[in-house]
Amino acid sequence: MLADLTAGAVQDAEARAEARPLADVERRALSLPPARDALAALSPAEGVKIIAEVKRASPSRGDLAAIPDPALQARLYEQGGASAISVLTEGRRFKGSLADLEAVKDAVSLPVLRKDFIATPYQVIEARAAGADLVLLIVAALEQEVLADLHTLIGDLGMTALVEAHTADEVARAADVGARLIGVNARNLSTFELDRDLFGRLSTLIPADAVKVAESAVLAPADVARYREAGADVVLVGEALVTGDPIATLQAFLGRPEEES
């Protein structure tokens, strides 16, 4: 599944490149204000921080929410206390787009993550051209040399890479390229099965100077608390926020009393 998703994302990027050549995208990327400091926004604090995700669908869960106005969704996330916004830009199975990311970036003051199946420099540069401050790199989808090259390019463009791992070896590979933001995804992207204890097993392998991000399997405040107890600095949440009241859900996940209307 991961290989198919990555191949599809690359194919779609190649189609976009025919309409918008790399040189044009580079000019746009370099003309934008500097990327927002994601590491500062997500750095360890007394309480857990949350990356809130704009997510319409997924291969494992199907359709989740229509989200006709991703900018409004993101503003609700910011109001609810999120520290960053993740935007699914993959169109085939997740029903996202770079237009969603651009709308979100214009609507909030938080760092914005492009969450997609990134495997080429063009995808990284178009992420910056769309306003992304962070870019997801999935270790399992990339050869080590490609992972290192893309990680370097992301940094050269002033962005931050969220490097996602699923095994001890992948955590080591993320550390080897100098990743400062390392995620552990409880969902295996090859089988889409969940392992709720995976973060706890791998978190101690993440370098001490890296921000630790727990991803997937978050539906209730207890799930966030469990990740925090296992060492997570940040928890990435998608489904629970798009299928419920985003502000109330965020405040519950952050352990804050719901504000009175």
Residues belonging to the active site? 53, 55, 115, 164, 185, 215-216
Q: How far apart are CA 28 and CA 222, in angstroms?
A: 43
Cβ atoms within 10 A of the Cβ of 17, count?
16
CA dihedral 97, 101, 107, 112 (to 10 degrees): 150
Both tokens of 88, joined, read: 């699914």
H or E stretch at 145: helix 144-156
* Half-sphere CA count of 168, side-chain side, radius 13 A: 4
Map residue 113 onto helix, strand or coil: strand
Please enumerate in sequence order all residues whose Cβ is within 8 A of that of 51, keeping only pairs 6 or more positions apart, or say none. 42, 82, 83, 84, 85, 86, 113, 213, 234, 235, 236, 237
Q: How far apart are CA 80 and CA 15, in angstroms?
A: 37
Q: How far apart are CA 109 and CA 36, in angstroms?
A: 9
Please enumerate in sequence order all residues whose Cβ is within 8 A of that of 122, keeping only pairs 6 or more positions apart, or say none. 13, 14, 16, 17, 22, 25
* Half-sphere CA count of 181, side-chain side, radius 13 A: 27
